[in-house]
Amino acid sequence: MRPSLFEPLLRKLLFKLEPEAAHALAIAALAKIPLPKPPKDDERLQVEALGLSFQNPIGLAAGFDKNGEAAAAIPRLGFGYAEIGTITPHAQTGNPRPRLFRLTHDEAVINRLGFPSQGHAAVHARLTTQPKAGILGINLGANKDSADRAEDYVKGISAFADVADYFAINISSPNTPGLRDLQKGAALDDLLARVLAARDRLAERFGRRPVLIKVAPDLTLTELDAIVACARARRIDGMIVSNTTVLRPNTLQDRAAGEQGGLSGRPLFALSTKILAQAYLRVERQFPLIGAGGIDSTERALAKIEAGASLVQLYSALVFKGPFIASTIKQGLSQRLCEKPYPRLADAVGVTAADWASGKLSAESIL
């Protein structure tokens, strides 16, 4: 069945289910249904970043495959890389249900999952029994009841150094009380020092794994300045901008908009792209950025790259645009390169960052 016929049927089926049940079904299906290998990517989409070679810049963000159940299958959807997690050291159930909400009219999702995770040991065991397929990021978190949350991230580096291509340090989820405090001052500096030391101790055995931090879109510019200054001083390898937001744009129309948790999807695009551009100007090319938040089309993916992202990630778009959204975006990017003055997509990184940061460009500027 052609994707154009399959996707509406799949969406209709999944939308009849409670969101978390639909998500579990999607993961189970992806893990079990054999998918054909996608066509070879346009060479102009290739990205060299983090010491890795990405065949295309479209990644699957953390949150979709929390426990590595479908890691081997994700590249067959057309993604250039996948990020598994968030994974905590010990298994935990997360917050009470219901905790995942579709905002269908707004093409958005609100979640207050709270890092439900099977824990390091279970996820590692699963990943080592699957065939390695494509670039794999491991998104690390801390247990809710941890007495030393920085140590939880150190444990994650040790647990997954043999299977990770890079690590994402998630210190910006709004659904674990106090977690975002790790983005601040001395706490961030201590965390990065300990995580990078753990990475370096294991480098001789497993190779040097890039370490990135994932930040919130709700930061003030003063907070962003401090984070970037610390990240540059500690010489981290990159940043993911951004996580979900606790803010609620006044454009939201669905009744579920009042639910607590982090908002993702289409309404996050403007906020996350502006903070991405502001980060890009402050980083001054010392390390690459991954842009996330509201990407659901070729135009929005290209806008993130032009705003400063070397790579991009999506997740909520799978809910509303279907499982083949990455392939659709890639095809569109190849077409846009025929119209743009960029020989390769990587040449577009940051060309409109100043305009996004100043507010000259906005979501309304994107088709």
Q: Which positions are catalytic?
A: 173
Burial class of residue 355 in the structure, from the number of CB atoms within 10 Å of its CB (0-12 exposed, 13-18 middle, 19+ buried): middle
Burial class of residue 87 in the structure, from the number of CB atoms within 10 Å of its CB (0-12 exposed, 13-18 middle, 19+ buried): buried
Residue among 243, 240, 326 nearest 290 (CA)? 240
Amino acid at 291: G
Distance CA 151, CA 63 (A): 22
Inter-helix orientation angle 120-129/149-160, to 10°: 20
**70, 24 Cβ separation under 8 angstroms:** no
Pair type for strands 108-111 and 135-140: unpaired
Instruction: Please work out, in degrees rounded to the nearest 5, the angle formed at the alpha carbon of residue 265 by the alpha carbons of 264 and 270.
Output: 90
**15, 22 Cβ separation under 8 angstroms:** yes
Neighbours of 282 (CB within 10 A): 18
